[in-house]
Amino acid sequence: MKTQQYFRPTKAMIDLQAIHQNVKNLKEFLQPNVQIIAVVKANAYGHGDVAVAQAALEAGATILAVATPDEALHIRAHFEEPDILILGASPISFAPYAAQQRIILTAFAVDWIQQAAPLLANETLPLRLHIKVDSGMGRIGIRSERELLEIYQTIQSTDHVELDGLFTHFATADDEDTTHFNQQVQFFENCLSVMPFKPRLVHASNTAASLVKDPHLQYDAVRYGISMYGLSPSPYVESILPFPLQPAFSLESELVHVKQIKSGDSVGYGATYVAPTDMWIGTIPIGYADGVIRKLGGQEVLVDGQRIPIVGRICMDQCMVALPKAYAIGEKVTLIGQQGQNMISINEWATKLETINYEVPCIITARVPRIYF
């Protein structure tokens, strides 16, 4: 097998052992016989779906979850056996492909099932469906017990479709205030109680609920997302985690140019940074086309184990840093991760960007290769 060769020194390093350990720790924490649904949507939150899925399955996950039909087909091309669940809406035209590829779809509308039925008439395998309950998230899903019974009856009376699961998604499981969370739990429990029979898989707990909520909410399976990658869903959850998380993502590059500039010289577009004194400037081959967006100006990176700031406006393909001295070309630069005794975390980037840690690895674009170790 030919190994891909990368000439640009910018790369994301993905620690598969960390992902394996995060899944293993959850498996040991859960109630017996509760399955782990490894959420590998959005290219496994930017980590690489195939490699992450393999690590998760080896650690004990039994089901893979994605967001779109295309993601599901990509995963199925690499994994023949495990169940794959599409958490989002799928077009009616995808129904026969899902049946052929044993991909489970999310159902939340009677019309969708009725329109998909003729497309399934010649399929050997039934299309498996999980009914989505909108218990308070406000995205997709049925919103009443009456709707639930209608869609249940439609599935039961339609050939070539099979009810395989029922699930919901919590909007505030990572909050200390449980008011809305408790309301969602109650509605979902009411829905379960009116079902004529319990399907094979009932699942409600996302990462936060899996880690810190009542074990009875684990049902038959839990969906493991952000913490599979070593990140906590919120500061509150981080403060009460049942086991330590191991971050899997780091981002690094190298100095490709080092120069000394004079006091008063400017750096970057718009000449927004003016040297306060004679100083050394290093150039790194990474920019906003790689996901290091311009709002990260001023963010520190690690060189020689020291924190140094990005100066000037970040360019499409490059950015500049203020160095304490002249370094050799090729000196390692860590943008996310550990170097020496210092650490720059995804959470630090998220704070700088005024967003959540979920978003950070997702915005590192595809032209940054993921290197697995």
Closest CA to 312 of 263, 260, 267: 267
Separation CA 315–CA 269 (nearest Å): 8
Helix (H) or strand (E) holding 24: helix 16-29
In the chain, DSSP finds a helix count (H) and a strand count (E) of 12, 20
Active site (annotated) includes residue 236: no
Place of tokens 């995804």: 346
Separation CA 321–CA 303 (nearest Å): 10
- Say if residues 40 and 223 touch (Cβ distance below 8 Å): no
Burial of 348 (0-12, 13-18, 19+ CB in 10 A): middle
Active site (annotated) includes residue 269: yes
In this structure, how many other beta carbons lie within 10 angstroms of the beta carbon of residue 100?
Answer: 14
Kindly name the residue from 6, 198, 259, 269 that is annotated as catalytic: 269
Kindly name the residue from 41, 132, 152, 213 that is annotated as catalytic: 41
Catalytic sites, residue numbers: 41, 269
